[in-house]
Amino acid sequence: MIIMFSQGNSGGYYTYPAKYIIVNVPFGDDRLEMGDDDWYTDESIEDAIESVIDTATKAAETVGLYLNGVAEGKDCRCCGDRWGWYNEDYIFESIEDAIKHADRCGDSSGAVPNYVVVNA
């Protein structure tokens, strides 16, 4: 499962490592792929997805993601938090799809790369 975090330009600029952090999370939980509706509940699927998101967040933090930047005094209060929390619009089936999105939506000018890929 591929999860992407996006950076806002809090304070009017982007910072390293990139505008988008793309995280490749091995999804070893077969609950979403087995097709056997009888044994799992919506709650067990939500738990599995939450675990993947937590893993992705921790992996992204190793390269520079931080959350709650305004509350912690790291980011501009007028512009808001630099890094956004998980957003279901940023789940992709492949790294290539996430890169295409980053290239389509990101600004490739400037010193900060559009994306960085991290394996969880």
What is the per-residue pLDDT across 34-67, written as a single tens digit (0 to 9) for each?
445 554 556 677 787 888 889 999 999 999 999 9
The structural domain count of the chain equals 1
Q: What pLDDT sits at residue 110?
A: 73
pLDDT tens, per residue, the chain with 120 residues: 899 999 988 888 888 999 999 999 987 654 445 445 554 556 677 787 888 889 999 999 999 999 999 999 999 888 899 998 877 888 898 999 999 999 888 776 678 899 999 999
Q: How far apart are CA 70 and CA 116, in angstroms?
A: 23
Strand partners, 3: 23, 91
Alpha carbon separation from 46 to 42, 52, 56, 105, 110 (Å, rounded):
6, 10, 15, 29, 39
Q: By residue range, what is the domain housing residue 20?
A: 2-33+40-119
